[in-house]
Every structure is written in C-alpha cells, then in structure tokens.
Structure 1
Amino acid sequence: MTSVDRWQLPDGVEEVLPAQAAVAERLRRQLLDMYRSWGYQLVIPPLVEFTESLLIGLGADLDLLTFKMTDQLSGRTLGVRADITPQVARIDAHSLGQSGVTRLCYAGSTLHTRPKTPAGSRSPIQLGAELYGDSSLAADVEIIRLMLATLETAGLDHITLDLGHVGVYGAVLAAAGLDDEQEQTVFDALQRKSLPDLEQALADADPRARELIVSLVDLNGDDSVLSAARELFAERAPDALAAIDALQDVATDIRRQRPGVAIYFDLAELRGYHYHTGIVFAAYVPGHGQALANGGRYNDVGGVFGRARPATGFATDLKALMALLPAEETGRGAISMPDIDDPALQDRVDALRAAGEVVINCLSAAPDPRCDRQLVERDGDWVVQPLNT
C-alpha cells in the first residue's frame, strides 16, 4: 500500500471539514429545535443492531443497502444501519409503548453498501420525523408540512411537492389479474418509467389489463391527472378512487397552508411500494435532480415488534441540504488570549465565551489566524481590542 492509498476514502464516503461541519451542525440544531417546537421528541438509535430487527418489514432494498458483520459476543449477525426509520418504529412499538399519538425525530449517520443515486453519498446524515398512532390524512398533511418547513428552514425555496399513493397501483394491479412473475416485471418497468419494457412485459396480458397498466406511465402532472384517473378507473379499477380522493384532499390542505409550493402528481410513483401503505411524497428544488426529502405512510411496520401502529414520516440527508445552502457571510473572527496564569484573565475569557465569542489560547508567538481581536491588560482590566494595535 502506498502513502497515497493510506489517506484515500472509499468511494461515496466523505469527511466533513470544519467550515462545512459548522454549517451542518448549525442546520442540525435549527431543524431539531424546530421539530421540538412541533412536539417531536428526539431519539438516538444505535449505529448497529441485530439484522433481525434492523431489516425486518421494510423490503429487500434495505437488505441490499446494509453492511453486515458477525457480533463477536453473540455470534449473531449485526447490521450497520442504512435507514433509521425501522429503528424508530422499533422504539415506538417496543421501547416506548405509549398509547395515543407519538411524535419522534432523529438525526444520525447511516452507511450504504452502494449509493442510491449515481452521484449520491454512501454515508448520508439522515434526519427526519415520524408520527405514530394516527391513520388520518391530517397526520400525513402534518408530516408533509414539516418536511416542507425543513427545506424552508434550510433556506431553500421554489419547492415542488411530488404526491402519489400506492393504493392506485395496487388497485390497478388487482384489476389486471397478473401472475406473480408478470407483476414483478411490470413493477420493475414502471419504476424506471420505461414504456417499451412495460409493453414487452404485458405482451401476453389481456388487452384491457395492458391498457390499464400502461396508462399509469402518463398519469403525472397537475390536477388534470386526477380527473383523468377518475374517468379511467371508475369502472375498471374502482378501488383506486379512494386513493385519488385522498391525494386531492391532501393537495387541497397543503395549498391552503403552503400556497407557494408547487404540487405535482405521479400515480405511477412506486418508491417504497413494498412497505408503504398509502400517501407517498417527495420534495424537489430547481437544479437538483434527486428528491431532497421523501416519505410516506407505512402502517403496521411495528407489528413485527409486537405492536402494529399507523405510521407516517419523512427523511432527508443533511449533507445534501448543506450542499445547496446559500453562501453565508463570514461572521466575526476570534479573540486571542495570552497563555498566562491570571484568574482575572480567565474570568474575562469565561464571560466572553458565555456571550458566544470564540476565544483561543495563543500558544506560540503568532495568534491563531482566525483571530481579529486580542485580550490586552489595561490598568488591571482585560479588554478586547483589534489585533496588532
């Protein structure tokens, strides 16, 4: 191994240097304080857990994203968390066990075996909120509002909210009557929005079923999408109508409370289809092709921990938010203090630090380069004055 190899990091794994770390920590504190003001309580799940609890209930995709190892104490398999959501569901269902509505939030590092997107990080700092114990659309609206407030607090605007509902695809699939193999092939093609692959997968299907499923590809856009879907599914997949009505109700509430947010409907959105049970949503901003935050309803995941509960929530990557923040003006510099043993000096330093100033001990002939002021003794008092005056 060469000296160059020793300091290289794995692809998709980044270090956060002081200037960026300061921005990330400031934003983390702002967001967690905001969540607290909405009634969300902070939890800090462990970095590793037994895979039986870490991976259960949220589909094969999470299994593939999770690094696994053998626990030297128990001999059981441990996983380094790739998603904090199932950990919070476990906390709600098993560790807390509260009745009624429970609101929890979190922020922590995760690790992925591979990036979710071509340019994505394998070590995102996941931050989010989950609401348990309420199955109403009002709970979904609250979580969506909190997600939008997260991006706004980060200084982002011109937000587009993408809304979907897994019940639409589920109803269409049930009406089409496909076998298991066809369902998987259709699902893969719809995830990629690939019309040629979808038509090939449905080549042997009933023509009416093929037309119904293929129609999903084009059901994305403004409110006219919902009108078209109602007309299309009224007779052939009537179970989809309740999901469409739910989308309309959520959009109406969000527009009333956040009139500046653009809303885009996508009835073929299948993100998290294998564990989501209702509304799914994502937030985008111009110039960033991937969703900055996403979430949805995932009822009864806690059932594997002995307590099935209604659940809805969202998550974002603090690193991705940080990369899009507007440039910040440089604040005041630091204060240099002489390295001497003087109780009066230490009292003055303690007072300055308590007031929010950065005071750096001068250990050499030259002050720290961040310092633009210094502490100087004048007539028995320690006063702050510009450096080198």
Structure 2
Amino acid sequence: MPVSETWLLPDGVADVLPEQAQVIEQLRRRLLESLASRGYELVYTPFIEYVESLSLLNRNTSDLDLVTFKLIDQISGRLLGVRADITPQVARIDAHVRPVEGIARYCYAATVLHTRPQGLSASRAPLQLGAELFGCKGPEADLEMADLMLSLLKQAGFEHQLHLDLGHVGIFRNLARIAGLTDSQEAELTDLYQRKAIPELAEYTQTLNLGQDFYVLGRYGNDLSTLKQQLSAQVLADPTLQQALNVLEQAQAHIQQYWPAINVGVDAAELRGYHYHTGLMFAVYGPNRAVPLAQGGRYDGIGIAFGRERAATGFSCDLYVLAQANPASDTPVMLAPLGKEPDLQAAIEQARQDGFVVIQALNEQDQQSRASQRLVHNGTAWQRQSV
C-alpha cells in the first residue's frame, strides 16, 4: 500500500476537530453535572475485559456479541473483548465490585467500539453517555429514567418535534409463556413483529395456540385500548401480562401529562432488544432521524452472571449525535505579547477571568485569524484593543 494511503481511517471512524471537540466536551460536562445533581454517581470502566463479562453469561446476547471486537490477551491467553456497551460493565460493578444495598444510581460517558455501524452514517466508535438505576422493581424507576433521558435531551438542545416510542417485552413474553410456544416459534413471531408483516402474521398464527391473540398483538399493538378489548379473557386473566399492560399504559399517561410537547407512540409488539430487555422500553427520535437519539429500558437480572441478581433500568445515547444540535463556542480570543512581566501577566489573567481565550503570540502570524482583540501597552498600562 502506498504511504499516502496508510493514514486513512477505517470506515465509521473519524477525527474530532477542535471546534466540534469543544462542543462535545462542554456538553459532556454539562450533562454529567446534571446527572450528578440527581444522585447518579460517575464511574469509569475499562476499555477491554474478558469477553465472558461483556457478553453477560446469563442470557442470549448474540446481538451484542456480533458488534464486539475480540482479541487474545498476550498475558493470560484468554479471549478479550473491546466494550461495545457500557451497561454490562456497570452491572458488574453493582453486582460484584460495589454491591450497594438498596437502590444504586450510576452514570458514565466513554467511547465504545462496534464491529459495524449501528445505523446509517453512525460512528463505529460512539461516545456513549448513559445512566443506570439498580435495585428498584417498580414502574417509578422506569419513569424516573424516562424523565431523566428526556431532560438531558432538552439540555442538549432537542426540545421540538421529538417522538417517544414505548414498548414492553413482557406482553409478548408472557403471551408466549401462556401459549407454551417453542423457541423457534418465538423467534419466528419476533421476526414477523419486527418487520410489521401483518399478512404473514395472520397466516402464521392460524396454527398456534392462542394464535388470534398473537395476531391481535401485532394488529392492535399501537392502540392499548383496542388491544385490551381484543385480547382473549384467558390472556387478560394472567396477572403478569396484565401488569405489563398496566405499566405500558401508565408510562404513556405519564409522558403525555409531564411532557406534553413530545409525541408519544406505543407499540406493544415492539421487540427491539427482546433477549436483553425484560420490561418497559423507550426510544426517542428526532425529526428526519431513523436512529434513536437515546434509548433504554428495563433489564432485570442482568447481574446474575456476576453473582447478584438485581432489578435494573437505564438508558444511553451518543454524545457525538447530541452535539450536532449545539453551536460551536464563540468565546472571544485575545492576543497578548510574549513576556513574564507581572503587569502583563496580571492583565492576561484578568482577561481570562472576563471570558477571553488569551494567547501569547509567538510571532506575527500566531493565531491572528482567531483573535478579535489584543493587549497593547500604552506607555503606562496594558489595555485592550480591537484587531
């Protein structure tokens, strides 16, 4: 390969240049400070771990496994994984490293790495920011997380024309349990629901136990009132399934009451992350965006692989995406001459306290294109002049 081509970056990986890097860093600090003010404690997790930890041994995580880069540890000879999601690492901390009794809240902001982009024009190395809440089974924890996610999006500049999708995997999961479906039948139905293939669903469900209920779920999943009217009495009599419906209904009412500017959609047949989530799920979309701005939901039992089963809910987002709604900083730049004289240093320090970026120019060409003012000596004192 010619030397001129070796500097090219892989697809889905990009440099972040100074103007945008400053926007991202300011946004990261602001959002983490907001999380801290709500009791979410910041954690840093390692970039690589043994692949068993990242894959969550207690559940089917083929989706996560596919996007995880793997390599051999030259010290132990064991297989390592580069983190593709920080949530399993925080679950390990909660379950094994810092087993707090009762409710624990954590937040994080760090780069993850994916083997392939997770959406059109998405980065393979997103800067993932998120929050996790452990130790509360009730819907109040899910609602806190949804409120927190929407609050952070508002702080990031996303206030208008947002759409929130709500789902609950417990509805389908309990319906499958009542009907006694096999794993292959569950997989086939999951695919049909995700593709919204209603004609195929109608045909496939004819041979299933409670097939009409599975069809109703796909046909009326976006209208909870109609869905509850159409489901059979046998299904509605199941307390666990009824609870899942109630949680979804409660979440919809909560968002409509406290976030009236946000368009809320419900899909009881939405099975995104079916093998990962265990309850309420939510995803927020901006106008003309096919990929969520932020998403999350309940994932109880995630810590069992690390020796402690815990109720859990959380959300995450990509700071690179959120930063697109934030303008570049317009902090004024001031030029100052070289020198360590006390009066010059005092004038520079005062200018910085007044909000200027002050550069002591090395020569006449140093950063002049950025400067709007300069420090000059009038014979008795340093004063500011427009460039």
TM-score, normalised relative to structure 1: 0.92
State which of 152, 173, 177 in structure 1 corresponds to 2:176: 173
SS at match of 2:210: helix
The answer on 1:280 being equivalent to 2:281 is yes
Instruction: Please state how far the C-alpha of 1:102 moved relative to its aligned partner.
Output: 0.8
CA distance in 2 between partners of 1:197 and 1:65 (Å): 30
Matched, 1:105 2:112: no
- SS of alignment partner, residue 237 of structure 1: helix
1:348 CA displacement: 2.6
Q: 1:236 to 1:115 in 2, by over 3 A?
A: farther
- 1:378-389 aligned at under 5 Å gives the runs 378-387=378-387
Residues 312-332 of structure 1, C-alpha deviations (whole Å, 9 max, x = no match): 110111112123x05x37624
Which among 75, 79, 83 is matched to residue 81 of structure 1? Answer: 83
Query: What letter matches 2:193 in structure 1?
Result: L
2:230 to 215, 228, 232: 232
Q: What secondary structure does 2:133 align onto?
A: strand
- Indicate yes or no: 2:192 matched with 1:193: no
Distance 1:355 1:95 in 2: 44
Segments of 5+ residues of structure 1 without an aligned counterpart are none
Matched, 1:305 2:306: yes
Residues 61 and 134 of structure 1: is their aligned pair in 2 closer, same or farther, counting only changes over 3 Å?
same
d(CA) in 2 for partners of 1:332 and 1:220? 50
Report the Cα distance in structure 1 between the residues aligned to 2:307 and 2:350, rounded to whole angstroms: 52
Contact 2:216 2:227 in 1 (8 A): no
Q: Name the amino acid aligned to 1:141.
A: L
In 2: Cα distance, 1:179 partner to 1:310 partner: 26
Aligned equivalent of 1:71, options 63, 70, 73? 73
- Name the SS of the counterpart of 1:242 in structure 2: helix
Counterpart of 2:30 in structure 1 is 30
- Residue 371 of structure 1: SS of its match in structure 2? coil
Checking the alignment, whether the CA contact within 8 Å between 1:220 and 1:265 is kept in structure 2 is yes
CA shift for structure 1 position 286: 1.6
The more displaced of 376-385 and 362-371 is 376-385
Query: Aligned letter for 1:299?
Result: D
2:20–2:328 contact (8 Å) kept in structure 1: no
SS at match of 1:336: strand
Letter in 2 for 1:345: L
SS in 1 for 2:372: strand
- Cα distance in structure 2, aligned partners of 1:42 and 1:197: 47
Output one character per residue of 1:327-386: Cα deviation in whole Å (capped at 9) or x when no partner: x37624311111234233223323333443211121122241211111112334322221
In 2, are the aligned partners of 1:182 and 1:202 still within 8 Å (CA)? no
Aligned to 2:344: 345
Please name the residue that 1:359 is paired with. Answer: 358
1-structure distance, mates of 2:52, 2:179: 35
CA distance in 2, matches of 1:137, 1:248: 11
Partner residue of 1:13? 13
Aligned equivalents of 1:287 and 1:31: distance in 2?
A: 24
- Asked if the contact 2:19–2:329 (Cα under 8 Å) also holds between the matched residues in 1, the reply is no
1:292 has 2:293 as partner:
yes
* CA drift at 1:234: 4.2
Structure 1 letter corresponding to 2:346: D
Q: Is the 8 A contact 1:220 1:264 kept in 2?
A: no
Structure 2: gaps spanning 5 or more residues = none
Q: Compute the displacement of 1:202 (Å).
A: 4.7
CA distance in 2, matches of 1:282, 1:330: 29
Counterpart of 2:162 in structure 1: which amino acid? I
C-alpha separation between the residues in 2 aligned to 1:10 and 1:25? 24
Structure 1: distance between partners of 2:220 and 2:44:
40
What's 2:138 paired with?
136
> CA 1:134/1:14 → structure 2, altered by over 3 Å: closer, same or farther?
same
Give the AA of the match of 1:29: R
What secondary structure does 2:233 align onto?
coil
Give the RMSD, CA atoms, in angstroms: 2.0
Among all aligned residue pairs of Structure 1 and Structure 2, give the percentage whose two residues are the same amino acid: 43
Structure 2 residue aligned with 1:333: 332
Report the more deviating stretch, 34-43 or 364-373: 364-373
Deviations 1:71-91 (A, max 9, x none): 111111111110011111111
Using the TM superposition, give the Cα deviation of residue 212 of structure 1 relative to its aligned residue in structure 2, in angstroms: 2.3
Residues 376 and 382 of structure 2 are in contact (CA less than 8 Å); yes or no, is this contact kept in structure 1? yes
What is the rounded CA distance, in whole Å, between the counterparts of 2:80 and 2:346 in structure 1? 49
Instruction: Report the 3-state secondary structure (helix = DSSP H, G, I; strand = E; otherwise coil) of the residue aligned with 1:348.
Output: helix
Query: Which residue is 1:61 aligned to?
Result: 63
Distance in 1, Cα, partners of 2:220 & 2:130:
29
What is the rounded CA distance, in whole Å, between the counterparts of 1:330 and 1:170 in structure 2? 48
How is 1:109-120 mapped onto 2 (pairs within 5 angstroms)? 109-120=111-122
Give the TM-score of the pair, scaled to structure 2: 0.92
Aligned to 1:2: 2
Q: Is the 8 A contact 1:176 1:212 kept in 2?
A: no
> 1:201 deviation in Å?
5.0
| Pairwise CA distance, 1:209 | 3.4
The number of equivalent residue pairs is 380
Distance in 1, matches of 2:143 and 2:72, equals 41
Q: 2:151 aligns with which of 144, 149, 152?
A: 149
1:113 CA drift (Å)? 0.5
**Residue 235 of structure 1 aligns to which amino acid in structure 2?**
A
Instruction: Report deviation, 1:4.
Output: 4.1
Name the counterpart of 1:372: 372
